[in-house]
Structure 1
Amino acid sequence: MLAALARLVKIEHSVFALPFAYIGLFVAARGWPGWRAFVLLTLAMVAMRSFAMAVNRLADLPYDRVNPRTQGRELVTGEVGPRAAWVFTAGCAVVFVAACAGLNSLCLALAPVALAWGAFYSLTKRFTWLCHFCLGSVLGLAPVAGWLAVKPEFALPALLFGCGVTCWTAGFDILYACQDVDFDREHGLRSMPARFGVGCALRLAAFSHVDAAAFFLLAGYAAGLSWIYSLFWAVCSGVLLIEHRLIGENDLSRINMAFFTLNGVIAVLLCVGALLAVFLGAC
């Protein structure tokens, strides 16, 4: 059952948000933040992401049952029942709140807001094509959460990193949504590909990633990170360019490589660049 639940929430996709939470954590601490903050933040991030994904799977169950692409998902096949998924979701929420309580009072006060926003984004595809940016803003909380874990105050570098993650996530979510354009139109779901067509959506995704790269560069500057971070930023920007060269309006065959593999590389590389800048004293 645990393995099925892990597949349900795609636990491996934590690679998208967790590195950015660590960026906020280590940059704010200007070094090692201590085991307490590190472990509690990790627990909070994994629990929050699992909570949001489980809510998304439950909310999308009626659509997943009739979408040929998603009929192998655990809730559809019955490998995980709705009741078990709801219990798991509640458990993730409890773990998240408990981890926030262990960090500081501001994190605890913001925990219900984060949970509400994480659950709300699953509904946005029903009424707005900006749903991709709603999802992006959920992941965009990661670097802010990392910063608040050791410095319970909002700061410009954390907010800029958050904006970067928002645009980056929105961009690759638009790419992923291109494969469901016909299904979304048929069932009245809002997405940029369904609303504007695949060609226009690909251009909007590219624009979002240009914005993301700009925000990441500004965030590094605001945090005082040196050329080490800038070097990794340049490599990540190149990977983003490759990502968009892999996909065309009439060829979505490499969508999984563009969506998961390359974006996982971007998250890890940017995190490594920030941490090297911090620990080598080059910030």
Structure 2
Amino acid sequence: MTTSNIVPPTGARDGQLLRGQSLPVRLANFVKLPHTVFAMPFSLVGVLFASVVAPVTPAIVGWVLVAFTSARFAAMAFNRLVDRDVDALNPRTAMRELPAGTLTVGQARASIVLTSMLFVFASWMLNPLCFALSPVALLWVLGYSYTKRFTRWSHLWLGLGLSIAPVGGDLAVTGAWSDPWWLLIVLALAVVCWSGGFDMIYALQDAEFDAKHGLHSVPSKFGVPTAIAIARSLHVLAVLSFAAVMAAQPLGNVPPVVTGILWAAVLGVALMLLWEHRLVKADDLSTVDAAFFTMNGLISMGFLAAVFAARLLLERGA
């Protein structure tokens, strides 16, 4: 099947956008602020896991949320800045703020500088380890913007950037690596495979455009059907990784009811990913936006809700 046979999504504007023309609304749409819901819950999952071994205060939670939101804002804004010329050529993205002229390059640059500084400051407010690692994290998430110029695996680079969320949430509380040592690594792997897979699905929309303009992605390199198969494989690995995390009993030795909630969270992730892949078909990408936003938002929020409920029951001695 060639990319020319694909039915693309319809609609001139791409994504979930806020209404209004004020500068805050334009900046929110510039970085697709509603998409923050994808990975932010996993930063709080990291906080909840760490709460078993170290106290959590409202200030820690607040600074974790500030750190994640500001880092994501800076990364997304930088991506829009770097891609503005390419976005202007793509009918799906031509109405984004920079190509459309509703934001200036100067405003974009200022927002990147300010949110990057806010991220480093929030990391400093958490603990010395988070502060020391903040430049590394920032360089990684900003560097993603150039990856489509040289590697088809930019989806996994993005996934690694998002996997900083649960690791950062845990480190923000404990200031030290997890015990067992592999717990944070496997949790990060779960987020890498989950987010890398859904980014691959999102990139299906631009497979033909990317191939024509020399941009690298799995769909533009291998074609849409193969890209869907690779995304499915990544999501299977994500579910297995989430299962391995739960098998490690991240909340300690817990009663059966708590264990049941945690395993129900893994089952929920698996079912929602299965439904997501039922929505996406190689010859009809009209549901990609729905699959991308709705299902992945439900996965992250649902997983957080389950872990929070388990932690709350554990606190109450269930």
Please give the TM-score of this superposition, normalised by the length of structure 2. Answer: 0.87
CA contact (8 A) 2:55 2:173 kept: no
Contact 1:26–1:32, Cα closer than 8 Å, also in 2: no
Equivalent-residue separation in structure 2 for 1:273 and 1:32 (angstroms): 20
SS at match of 1:189: coil
In the alignment, is residue 128 of structure 1 matched against residue 132 of structure 2? no
The whole-number CA distance in structure 2 between the counterparts of 1:255 and 1:53 is: 20
Larger radius of gyration: 2
Task: Give the helix-richer structure, 1 or 2.
Answer: 1
Deviation at residue 159 of structure 1 after TM alignment = 2.1
* Other-structure match for 1:16: 38
Residue of structure 2 in register with 1:201 after alignment:
227
Corresponding residue for residue 149 of structure 1: 172
Structure 1 Cα separation of the partners of residues 81 and 202 of structure 2? 19
Contact 2:49 2:250 in 1 (8 A): no
Shift of 1:32: 6.8
- 1:232 corresponds in structure 2 to 265
SS across alignment from 1:80: coil
Task: Choose from 165, 172, 175 the match for 2:201.
Answer: 175
CA distance in 2, matches of 1:24, 1:160: 12
2:128 aligns to what?
A: 105
The percentage of aligned residue pairs carrying the same residue is 39
Correspondence for 2:304: 271
Where does residue 86 of structure 1 map in the other structure? 109
Residues 152, 192 of structure 1: CA spacing in aligned structure 2 closer, same or farther, 3 A cutoff? same
Q: Which runs of 5+ in 1 are unaligned?
A: none
Larger CA deviation: 80-89 vs 217-226 = 217-226
* Runs (5+) with no aligned partner, structure 2: 1-22, 252-258
Distance 1:17 1:246 in 2: 21
**Number of the residue aligned with 1:162:** 188
Q: Does 133-142 or 219-228 show the bigger shift?
A: 219-228
Do the aligned partners of 2:71 and 2:116 also contact (CA within 8 Å) in 1?
Answer: yes
CA RMSD between the two structures:
1.3
Deviation at 1:232, TM superposition (A): 1.8
Q: CA deviation at 1:61?
A: 0.6
How far apart in 2 are the matches of 1:120 and 1:224? 32
| Equivalent residue, structure 2, for 1:3 | 25
Shift of 1:153: 1.5
Residues of 1 paired with 2:236 and 2:286: CA distance?
A: 23
Q: Which amino acid aligns with 2:210?
A: D
In structure 1, the residue matched to 2:276 is 243
Output the amino acid matched with 1:8: F
The number of aligned residues is 283
1:98 is displaced (CA, Å) by 0.6
Query: Following TM superposition, by how much is the alpha carbon of 1:260 offset from its aligned partner in structure 2, in angstroms?
Result: 0.6
- Offset at 1:58? 0.5
Per-residue deviation, 1:223: 3.7
SS of the residue 2:89 aligns to: coil
Rounded to whole Å, the distance in 1 between the matches of 2:247 and 2:51 is: 17
- 1:224 CA displacement: 3.5
Matched, 1:69 2:97: no
Partner of 1:29: 51
TM-score (norm 1): 0.97
Question: In the aligned structure 2, how far is the partner of 1:9 from the partner of 1:179?
Answer: 19
The 2-side partners of 1:94 and 1:193 are apart by 35
